[in-house]
Amino acid sequence: MSFKEIISVPGMKPVLFTLFMVSFGFGVILPMLPFYALSLGAQPFELGMLTATFALMSLLFSPIMGRLADKFGRKKILMLGTVGFAAAYVLFAFTDSLLLAFVARAIEGISASAMFPACISLISDFSDEKQRGRAMGLVGMSFSLGLIAGPAFGGLASSFAVKDAFLLSAFFSMLNFASIYLQVKEPKEKEESKDLGKQEVGMLEHIASPMLFLFLSSFMTTFMIGGLDATLAIYTGGKMGFTATQIGIVFTYIGVLIMVMQFVSGSIVNKYGEIRLVQVGLLLSGAGFFLLIFTHDWPTLMGALAVFVCGNALVFPSVNSLITKKVQGKRGAVLGLVSSFNSLGQMVGPLVGGFLYGINHDYAFLGMAAVIWGYCIFFTLFAAKKIGR
């Protein structure tokens, strides 16, 4: 089945648009957040906390939202998440205090935790096992489009109309709500899968569970992105004198690369297999961090980022494809756990990257590369065979 045929499946387009809005919401604030928070009187530590609040709330609420999706239906949880995103944007637009900015960021994180596992579960239901690789490629493409539009929109708005940018984002969220309400139908649950969610969650009790290895691999995808987010703006601003608009251009470039890679990743997954691509992706991601040490201008920066993004864009759809193949039927609780591991990566990555950057700029990139390569060795030696069974 081609990408065009998968997109034509009833309900697929609004779900993919929802995934786009999740990444758009995360990306739109990246170039604006430092200047926005400082205008509210934030100190550097508070700025870091504001950045981490999104991931923390998503981490705490993802398992809850996954179970609620299983109980009440994924469509209802998706609509709840879109309303939450709209409310967060409106609060951002009109707040004049740092406390309310934290509240808005928390609402945004909770909303994302409601939307991601429900979207992945629905897309998995809309595709069979042979189509799964291409379908997960579309997930990555939707995310990458959000990461293109979000930072570009945020970088542009940071120079003149921040309030209007948030209000327009709220309008997009309500359009998203309408598309879900009108076009998405809740798939019927299979009789044999009613207790499967609880069975899969119970696997966490076993340290050698193949699902646990997949959760760790999912963690690594966001750990890498989080580490890059924590250091790239500081690095380019300090070493190259980049402004918020230029930083927005860099993140937009990253989003374009991810979109290009995810466009072909579905076919690559089906041809070479998920496990092999996870290994290759981890090697490339570590190499991208290592190459950042030697960047000093636009061409060297773009080259290092291209290597990193190619690697990360191979890992992401491969891990999601493996997870959905291992978990059939009632997936909400399991995908809620996946989202929690993703959020944990978004928190730990910036902490590790930022801590090492504070010691020595090169240590941040060397340290992240070492962690990624170390996990690649661990995955190859201990996880690959178990997952492949």
pLDDT of res. 59? 79
H or E element, residue 288? helix 274-292
pTM: 0.69
Cβ density class 323-353: b for 16+ within 10 Å, e for less: bbeebebbbbbbbbbbbbbbbbbbbbbbebb
From CA 142, how far away is CA 139, in angstroms rounded?
A: 5
For the purposes of burial, counting CB atoms within 10 Å of the CB of 158, is it exposed (0-12), middle (13-18) or buried (19 or more)?
buried
Sign of CA dihedral 153, 158, 160, 163: positive
Domain boundaries, given as residue ranges, for the chain: 3-187+196-388
31 in Cβ contact with 247 (< 8 Å): yes
Longest CA–CA span in the chain (Å) reads 59
**HSE value, Cβ hemisphere, 13 Å, CA-based, for 242:** 22
CA angle 217, 223, 228 (to 5 degrees): 140
pLDDT of res. 202? 46
**Number of H-type helices and E-type strands within the chain:** 16, 0
Sign of CA dihedral 139, 225, 62, 104: negative
- DSSP states along 264-282: HHHHHHHHH-HHHHHHHHH
pLDDT of res. 100? 92
- DSSP states along 197-240: HHHHHGGGGSTT-HHHHHHHHHHHHHHHHHHHHHHHHHHHHHHH
Tokens of 236: 């380019």
Tokens of 329: 């039927």
- DSSP states along 60-114: HHHHHHHHHHHHH-HHHHHHHHHHHHHHHHHHHHH--SHHHHHHHHHHHHHHHHH
| Tens of each residue's pLDDT in the chain, 389 residues | 566 777 777 778 888 888 888 888 777 777 776 667 767 887 656 766 777 788 788 878 877 887 888 788 888 999 999 999 999 999 988 988 889 989 998 999 899 888 877 887 788 777 766 666 677 667 767 876 787 788 778 777 766 677 887 888 889 889 989 989 998 887 765 443 344 344 444 444 443 456 777 888 888 988 888 788 777 877 887 788 887 778 778 888 887 887 787 677 767 877 788 888 999 999 999 999 999 999 988 999 999 999 999 998 888 878 877 877 766 555 555 666 776 787 788 778 877 887 787 788 888 899 999 999 999 999 888 877 777 55
Tokens of 89: 């944007």
From CA 113, how far away is CA 297, in angstroms rounded?
A: 37
Give the Å distances, CA to CA, from 58 to 65, 219, 296: 10, 13, 35
From CA 92, how far away is CA 36, in angstroms rounded?
A: 10
For the purposes of burial, counting CB atoms within 10 Å of the CB of 359, is it exposed (0-12), middle (13-18) or buried (19 or more)?
exposed
From CA 205, how far away is CA 366, in angstroms rounded?
A: 33
**HSE value, Cβ hemisphere, 13 Å, CA-based, for 215:** 23
From CA 59, how far away is CA 24, in angstroms rounded?
A: 19
| Superfamily of domain covering 3-187+196-388 | MFS general substrate transporter like domains (1.20.1250.20)
pLDDT of res. 199? 44
pLDDT of res. 357? 78
